[in-house]
Amino acid sequence: MVKKLLKLAFISLISASLLSCGRSSDGTGSKSTPSPKPSAGTSDSGNSQAPAASDSDTTAAAPDNSSDSAAGTIKTRDTVAAKTDFISDEEMTSIVSPWPSCDNAALAAVMKKAEKGEKVTIACIGGSITQGTITTGSSDAALGLERNCYANIFFDWWKSTFPNTEIVTVNAGIGATDSYLGVHRVEADVLSYNPDLVLIEFSVNDENDIYHKRTYENLVRKLLIRDNAPAAMLLFMAQSNGATAQNQHQLVGFNYKLPMVSYYALITSWLDNNRYTEKELSGDVTHPSVLGHAVVGEILWKYLNKVYASLDEYTSPYEVPASLVNKPLTKEIYINASLLSAKDITPDSIEGFELTNNLSPWSDSWETNTDGSITFTAEFRNLGLLYRKYVNVNPGKYDVYIDGEFIKSLDSDFKGGWGSYAYSEEVFTSDKSTSHTVEIRKNPDSAGADFAVNRLMISK
């Protein structure tokens, strides 16, 4: 009962007068019959940490938007129907996206560019849900849905709506990553492609705390302050048990008036009204089922359709929000964050560690299974380490020293977990960027010796 009351209270919060963005939600309705339609491929890559390659494609069918509107009138464009129909218009307005003050002008500008036939690049960044991990829900077989991840459905909207335009897609989802790692890798994994639009999804892997509010806002600001600033759109996912960082992330969206949609709010309403069960929405609590991904894809498809249908209402050029010029909500300390691999930095000294390319997608790493030590010199204001968590070897505990002073111990033990993966951890923060010596060496009390340094994570 307490859990249910907390969920209802949170939906009331996002639907109330906070920043004049809300309307009430009713969460009513019965299960709709899905209307599956063919789509361009599936994605079910599991829990590996590997971002999908970018691609470009076109689709044969599209809405007929060739006629001009009469003078003084606004044309309503035809749209391509969503592949499924689980969500009512009322649910889209009052539950999924109850924030009318949020600005769709930048998103509309991307659509106008695509409508002119100019190449557009659409990117997603997030964790394993974005990467394409799909679990099997208890009703997936009965529903007969195509096994397809939400990112592919999101990309397919652009290809279906603008079949004569080159649509380049970039899926920068990597399993078990949060916005702290995201702000360090977004330059290489997303911004290097010069995207027109970036969809951000970290609400499951981020904790609902101030630390991740800061890393998330720094990621958003890093996108928006670029000279060719892409449009940004925020997707708030959740585990089927309700765990989510939306409470912190939505405050960032409010500050920059960004388009936002909430899978969390929708499934909370559905669960509370017994429309679906947790086992239908996810086979492992964390990752959506086929049904779950279809619902997320439908959320995004219908949101894009709503903006596109009224595209001519966006007559003024997009203006950078004043909140980008003003003081940010949190401390701006990761704007120039980056990752350093073995290609980018040479150790001052190395013992026991060897170069390895076997820790996909983190090639050019250093790994040891002996009493290893490794030392670097680098300039930074803040330092994090991306290192391996092991489930099936002899994991070791290694100590980090900066300028000869012990900072903290890093434990690579993840036995009993779901799988080995790269874990990011902040180890040092300061107010000034300067040159430091970083030493990583085996803790004398560590029983195991296996340890891998995938990346140095620095910001200046």
pLDDT tens digit sequence for 87-99:
999 999 999 999 9
Domain membership flag for residue 361? yes
362: nearest Cα among 423, 417, 411, 416: 423
Domain membership flag for residue 245? yes
Domain membership flag for residue 330? no
Residue 61 pLDDT more than 50?
A: no
Domain membership flag for residue 333? no
- Over residues 300-315, the pLDDT tens digits come to 999 999 999 999 999 9
Region label for 379, one of left (φ > 0), alpha (ψ between -120 and 50) or beta (otherwise): beta
How many distinct structural domains can be found in the chain? 2
| Torsion sign across C-alpha atoms 360, 364, 369, 371 | negative
Instruction: Select from 302, 325, 348 the last residue of a domain.
Output: 325
Domain membership flag for residue 332? no
Strands (E), 31-180: 55-57, 120-126, 167-173
Q: What is the CATH number of the domain that holds 307?
A: 3.40.50.1110
Domain membership flag for residue 362? yes
Q: Evaluate whether 349 touches 375 at the Cβ level (below 8 Å).
A: yes
Domain membership flag for residue 200? yes
My answer on whether 354 and 436 are in the same domain is yes
Domain membership flag for residue 41? yes
**With bands split at pLDDT 50, 70 and 90, how would you rate the model's confidence at 8?**
very low
Instruction: Select from 325, 351, 383 the last residue of a domain.
Output: 325
Amino acid at 390: Y
Instruction: Select from 285, 302, 325 the last residue of a domain.
Output: 325
Pick the most confident of 16-30, 41-55, 275-289: 275-289
Name the residue with tokens 């390659």: 53
Q: What is the CATH number of the domain that holds 431?
A: 2.60.120.260
**Predicted local confidence at residue 220, as pLDDT:** 97
My answer on whether 98 and 155 are in the same domain is yes
Judging by DSSP bridges, how do beta strands 120-126 and 421-442 pair with one another?
Answer: unpaired
Name the residue with tokens 């599956």: 36
Domain range holding 348?
338-459
**Predicted local confidence at residue 317, as pLDDT:** 77
- Over residues 355-396, the pLDDT tens digits come to 999 999 999 999 999 999 999 999 999 999 999 999 988 999
